[in-house]
Structure 1
Amino acid sequence: MDEWSPQELKKLQKKNKRLKALLQKYKQQHHLQHALILLSEQASTIPELCSFYPAIQRLLADYVPSKNFYVVLRNPDTGLLELSYFVDQKDGIQTPLVTDQHFEQGVTGYVFRSRATAYFTRETMTAAQQQGKFKILGAQAEHWLGVPIYQDTDVIGVMVSQSYDAKQGYSQEQIELFEVIALYLATAIERVKKRELLESQVKQRTQALTLSNQALNDEISQRKKALERQQTLFQISELASQSINIDDVYYHVHQIMKSITYAENLYIALYDKDNNWLTFPYAVDECSEDFGPRPFAKGFSELVLTSKQCQLIDRARSEQLIAEGIIERQGKLDPSCRCTSWLGAPLKTAQGVIGLIVCQAYNNKYDFVQEDVELIAYVSNQIANVLQNHLSQQALRQSHQELELRVAEKTRELRQANLHLQLQIDERRKIEQQLYHDAHHDSLTGLPNRSLFLSQLERTLGQYQRFPEKDFAVLFIDLDKFKDINDKLGHQCGDQFLIEVADKLKQCIRDHDLIARLGGDEFVILLTQLNERQQAEDVAKRIIAVMQQPFCNQGICIQSGASIGITYSKRDYSHTDEIIRDADAAMYYAKQTGKGRFEFYHPLLGYGNDQQEPHQRHHLMDLHTHFRASDIVNFDQQQPHAQLLDAYGEHPVLGSTSFEQLKRFASDNYELAKVELKLLKYGFNQHQSDIMSLLNCSSLLLDDKHFEGLSHWVGQLTNKDKLCLLFSEAELRFCSANQMKNLDKLYQQGLHIGLNEFGKDRCELSLLTQLPYFCVLLNATFSRRVLQDPRYDHMLQGVLAVTQLNDCMVIAKGPCILNYRSLLEHHGVHHFIGQQHAIAEQQPLHAIPS
C-alpha cells in the first residue's frame, strides 16, 4: 500500500481534530440534556424543598465537584440574601449565619450584584478582596464557583460550589453545565413550591371538613343530652308538687337515677350539722344491709360533705386516700363484695349541704366515668331542693322542735362568723407576708432585690466595723452577650436565660452567702465569713466556668459569659454606696479588658481613699472631655435638621468613654449634677449653630436642690430656641411629681424638651402626651424589631399618630445603611441619626468655665 503524503497526513490530522472537538461538544450537549431531564424529573416528583436541594446536589455530583455546595435566595420582604441549603466539609451551619449581612458582604453578594458567573482560585479571590470587591468569610476554598439564579430578567439568588482541594478545579464545560442548571433552577423551585402549597391546601381543606363534621356530630349529641337532662329535671320537679310521703320521694328518686346511670346500689344520706351525725333514710344495696345512723367519721361520704363536690373513687384512688390518712376503713370488708367504683354527689340547697346521694358498683360490674359525674352533679341540686321541700314540711309538723332548731341555727351562725373572722385574720397575715416578700425580691428570678441586698450589706458593714476580723467581699456580675440573646431569641427567652443564670449562681455560693439581682442583667453577691481574698476569687472562677456553658433555645445556642468585679472589705469603707461603686468599677474594667473574667478593685479604677497620693486618684473633674456631634438627617435630604451632642471623657484606664459610663466615678449626686450642668453649658456654647442642638440631660437636674442652677442658665440664654434637652423614657417614667413640675417649668421658659431611648423597655404612649415634645428618639433595638415583628410596627404606628398631633419629630437610631433606612421610611419614620464628628478639643473638666 502506498504511503501517505505529508499533505494528506496534515488533512487527516485536521479532520481528526475537528471530529474530536465535535465529539466533545456532543458529549457536553448530552450531559446538559441529561442533567436538565433529571432536574425536570426531580421538580415533578419531589414534594418538598427540603428534599429537592439534596437531589440537585446529587445530580451535580455526577458532573461537577459539589461536595461543598449551597444555595442563597433573596428574601422578597427584607431584600436580604438568606441561606436555603448549605453543605460544607469545613464550615458548620453556624458559619454562614454569624451576621445578618453575611452574604451581602462576601463573594456571594458580589456575584448577586454583578449578575454574572464568577470563578475564583485562592489567589484570585485574595486579590479581589484586596481590591475591596468583597470580604472573604469562613474557610477559604481553593476553587470557588458562583452562578446567579435568574427568574425572567431578575436575579433572585446565587448557586455556589467550592472545592478545598487545590487539584480539583472546574473546567469550562463544568462551568457551563453549572450555569445551565442555575438557569432552570428558579423554575424548578417554583414548581416544587406550588406542589407544596397545593398539598398543604388539600390537607387544610380535608382537616376543616373533618372538624366541621365532628362539630356537627358533637352538637347533635349535646342536644340529645340536653333534652334527656331536661326530661329528667321535669320528672324530679314533679316530685316537689306531689303530696306523697318522704319514703315515696326517695323511691322515685332511685328510679330516676336508674334511668340516667348505673344505680342498682344507691343510698341517700342526710347530714345533721348540729350533732355531727349521718343518717341513711334510704338505701338499696346488694352486699350490705347495715345503714344505721353513725357519727361523722372519715369515710367516702364525709369526703363528699366536707369538699362539697362530687367524688368519683375507684380502687386506686381509694388506696391513695387511705394512705394519705384522708379516709379510714371501718371494720373488715367482705372479699366477695368489694366496692370497685363509687360515685357520690352533695345535696346542696340555699341552706347549704343537707346530705349526699351515692351510687356504687361491686366486683367490676360497672365503672363510673366523668360523664356519670356530670349527670349526677346536674340533677343533685334539683333532688336536694325536692328533698329539702319535703323535709321542711315534715319539720313543720314537728313544732315542738322549733325552739331548739332556732337556738342551733344561731349557734351555727356564730360559729361560722368566728371561723370567717379567723380566716380573715389568717388571710391578712398571709397577704402581709407576701407583700414583704414581693417588696424585697425580684419578681422574675425570685432572688433578693436591691433593697434587701443593701440592707444586708449595711448590717454586714456595721458588723465588720465592730469586728474587723470578719472579712467580707462583694461581687458585681454583668452578663456578657445578654443583648444578643434578647435580640436573636426574644425577650421571653431572655427572661428564661436570667432564671437559669440565677439557678447557676446559687449553686456557686454557700448557704449563708447572699445573691441578688439589681436589674436587667446585673447581679451582686455578698460573701461573708471570709478568711482570705482567695475565697472570693474561687467563687468568681466557679461563676465564670459555669457561665461558659452555652444557652440553647429553639435549636439556637449562644455562648454567654460573665464579667465580675470584686471588692474586698477594708476599714476605709463607711457606706454601702462606696462598696457597690468600687465593685461596679472593677466589673466595668473586667468587661472592657476582654469579658469573661474577673478583676479586684484597684484605686486606678475609681476613687481611692483620702490617704492615697494625688496622682493615684482619678476624679471625674480631672478627666479630659470633648463633644461629638451626630447629624439628624431626613431620608431624602442630606441637610441636617438638628445635631445630637454627646460628651466623652478620656479615662486613664478605660480609655475614651461616654459620659453616661463615666457617671459611675462621681463621688456623690451633688458632684454629678455639678459636672452635668457644666457639660450642658460647655457643649451648647461650643456648638453655636443655626440648627437645633440636642443634649442629653438626666432627671437628677430636675431635683429641687439642683434645678435652680439649670433654670437660671436657661433663663439667661438668648438663643434657647436652638436648644433641646433630652430625657430618657426610663428616667421620666420614674420621675416624682416635683421633678415633672420642674420639667414643665423648663418648657414654660421656652426651652424645647425631647424624649430619648423611647421603646427600650416598654412603649408607653401616655408618656408622649405629658408634654408637647420637640422630638422622640427611638431606641435602636426597637427600630430594628419594627422590621421583624408586626407587633412592634403596631406600636410604632401608635407613636407616629400621637406625635403628629404635636408636630413632634420621630428619629430612629441604628446603622447608617441605606437599605435599613429605606425600610424604616416605608413604616413612616423619616429622620435618622447620621455619622459622628468632633466639635471641640479635649480639655479637663475642671478647666471648663462654669
Structure 2
Amino acid sequence: MRSVDECSVNKLRKQNKRLKELLQKYKHQHHLQHALIGLSEQASTHPDLNSFYPAIRQLLADYVPSKNFYVVLQNSSSGLLELSYFVDQKDALSHPELIEQHFEQSLTGYVFRSQATTYFNSATMAAAAAEGKFKLHGTRSEHWLGVPIYQDTQVIGVMVSQSYEQELGYSQEQIELFEVIALYLAAAIERVKKRELLERQVEQRTLALTQSNHALNEEITQRKKAQERQQTLFQISELATQAINIDDVYYHVHQIMKSITYAENLYIALYDSDKNWLTFPYAVDESDPEFSPRPFAKGYSELVLTSKKCQLISRKRGDQLCEQGLVERTRALTSTGRCTSWLGAPLKTAQGVIGLIACQAYNNKYEFVQEDVELIAYVSNQIANVLQNHLSQQALRQSHQQLELRVAEKTKELRQANIHLQLQIDERRKIEQQLYHDAHHDALTGLPNRSLFIAQLERTMAHYQHLPEQNFAVLFIDLDKFKEINDQLGHQFGDQFLIAVATKLKQCVREHDLIARLGGDEFVVLLSRLQDKQQAEDVAKRIIAVMQQPFCYQGSCIQGGASIGITFSNAGYSHIDEVIRDADAAMYYAKQSGKGRFEFYHPLLNYAEEQAHSHSEHHLMDLHTHFQSSQVFDAEQQPICQLLSAYGEHPVLGSTSFEQLKRFSSDSYILAEVELKLLQYGFAEHNNQGLTLLKCSTGLLEDEHFKSLYSWISLLDNIEHLCLLFDEAELSYASAKLLHNLDGLSQSGVYIGLNNFAQERCELGLLAQFPYYCVLLSNNFSRRLVQEPSYALMLQGILALTKEANCKLITKNPSSPAERSKLEGMGIEYFIGQRSPLAQQKQLSQFTSLTSLVS
C-alpha cells in the first residue's frame, strides 16, 4: 500500500514539474506578446523619438535589466554609426566612444559587423578584446548584451543593454525578448519618425494660424483637411509597398474613397488607347451590378477621359450635356436607377491617362460638391500611380509566363548556344575581374602593389595625425642574394621564390596589416594599431626566421634571407615619402651591416650615410663608363634607331648599369650633372648612326638642371637624331613643374619616349599626355604577354592608344622565334636586338672617366 502511494506521489511530482515548465513557457510567450503590443502602442502614441526611446526602455525594464541602455543607428548618408539614445548609470555622454564616434572599433561596431546577437560577461568580454575583435571604452560592465536592428534584411543599427551588477545578468528568455523588440524596432522608429514629421508640419501650420486671428477657424479647418489628406496619402502609399494582388488593390482604393467622400457606388475604368476600349475591373453599384467592357462612346466616363479633368455632373448638367450632344445615354432611366449626382476623376500617370475613377449617387441620396472634386483630384494621381505600379507588375508576371513558355519551346534548339554564350560571359567576367585585380595587385605574387600601398599609407598617416596613440610602422624588406638566385637558377626559379616569399610574409603579420611588393625583390609591410616598437621588432624577427628556411623547387634548394629597415611613426613625419625614405635607409644600413637582420631608423644614420656616400661619390667619379648599343628593328628586320645604355666599371660590382650605380649615391645634384654629361658624350659618339634613344631620369627636368639640358639641345645641329627616354614610374609621380618642363622639351623639337612601361603599373592615361616617339615595354610585361591572357588584353588598350598617336611600341627581342611570332600576332611590330659582335667589341673599347665628364 505504501509503495502505491509513493508511486502516485512521484507521478504527481513529475506532472507538477511539467506543468511548471509549461507555465514558464506560456509566461514567456505572454511576455513576448505583451512586449510587442507595448512596442506597437508606444510607436502609435509617442509624437517623437525623444519620448519614444525612454518609453521603450521603460517597457524593457519590466522584463530585462535595462538601466543602462542605448541605441545606435547607421547614418544612411555617411554610412557611420551614430548614437540615437543613451542612458547609463556610470558613463555620461562625454566618454571617448561617444565623443569620437568610434563605434566601428567598439563592441557596438562588432555586433553591427557580425550581424548577430552578442552577449558578454566581464571575462568573455576581456578575452574577446584581447583577441583584437574590438576595443573597450568607458566603464567596464559585468554583463553586456547587443542585438542588431534589422530593416527588412539589412542591419541598420544596434540596441544595447548592459549591467554593472555581477548578479544581475541576462537569461535566454530575456535575450530572446530583447531580440524580438529589436526585430520590430526599425518599423516602430519609422512610424514615430513619420508621426514626428507630420507633427512638425502641423506645428508649423499651427504657428502660422496663430498669426492671423481673422482666419483662425478657416485655417483650423484646412489643417484638419490636410491631416485627412495626409492620412489618405499614407494609406495610398502603403498600397504601393504591400505585396497584394490587383483585386485587393481595387478594394482598398474603394475603402479609401469611402473615407473621404460618398462612395457607396464606385467603379474604376481602364482605357486601352490602342483598341479604343473601356474595361471595368472593379465596380460596386446598387443599380447595375455588372459593368461589361465596351467600346469608347459618349458617356460620362468618356467625357472625363477626353477632357482629362475631373467632372462633377448633377442631374441638370447631365440633361444639358445630352442636349448638347456631348453625352449619349445608352439605356432608359428608371425611377430607381436615376443617377442624380456623378463625380469622376482621370487616373493620370507619367505615361498619360490610363482610366478613371467615378462615384455616383442615386435618388438624391448625396449631392457631390466642389470640395469632393478637390478631394478626388487630390488623390486620383496617387491612386493612378499605385494602380499603374500593380498593373505593370501584373503585366510583367504575365509577360514572364509567356516568355517562359516561349523559352520552353525553344530550349532544345538554343541549349548548346546558351551554354556557349554563358561560357563566353563567364570568361569575360573573369578577365574583367582579373584586370581590376591586376590594377591594384602585383601580377606575380598577388600582393598589393605600390599604388595600393601608398594609398593605404596615406590613410594610416592621416589617422595617426588624428589619433597619435595609434602608432604604425613600415618595414622595408630587401631579399638577400636574390640576384644570385636568378642568375644561377633562372628567372622561373626566382619567380617561384618570390611567390613563396609572399606566402611566408603573410604568415608573419596580422590580418589587418598590409604587405605589398614594390618591385623586384623589394617588399614593404605596413603595421597599424601598434602600442610600441617591440611589436614591429617581433614581426621583423618572424620574417627573418621564416626567410632563413630552405626553399626547394624542382629538385633545387636554396636558403635565402632578408634585410629589413624599420621606421616607426612619429609626429615629425609630414609626408609618406619621408617614411619610405627612412625605412629604405635603415634597410641599406642593415644590408651593409651583414644582411639577414633588421635595423630601426635613427637620425644618426644620416651622418653615417653621408660618410658612406662621400666615399661612394669618390668611386663613382673615378669609374670608367662605356655605352652598349642595341638596334631597334621593325617587322621587316630593318633597323630604325639605336638604344644606348650606359655602363660603369665598378671595382666591386664589375660592369654595372648606370641605373644600378645611381643607387650608391644620395647626391641628386651630382647624379644629374653626371647623367647630363653622359647624355652629351653618348650622343656625340653615336649620333652619326641615326636616331639615338638615350635613357635619362626626371632629375634633369628640375629647374637647376633643365636650363643646362635645354641649352645643350638648342645648340645641336642634328636634334632630329635625339630621343630622350623617361621611366613611366618617375613620370607617374612627377610634379606639375617637371611635366611642364618636359612639355617644353617636346616643343623644342627633341623626341621623347617612355621607358619601362607597365613595369609595375599600366597608366594608359600617361600615353595620351605627350606626343611620344616611342614606348618601350618593360621586360616583365613582355615576358608575361606570352604566358597570361589578361596581359594580352591589356596590350590591346596600349596598342590602340599608341597607334592613334602614331607612336612606336617596342619590346625586347624574345628568346625564341615562336615567342616573337606570338608577339607579332598580338600587334607588336618593333623589337630591340643586339648589334653585331664586331660592333659591340668596338663599343666596349671606348671608355671614358666620369671624372673627366664632370670636369
TM-score range, shorter chain: 0.3 to 0.5
- When normalised by structure 2's length, the TM-score is 0.42
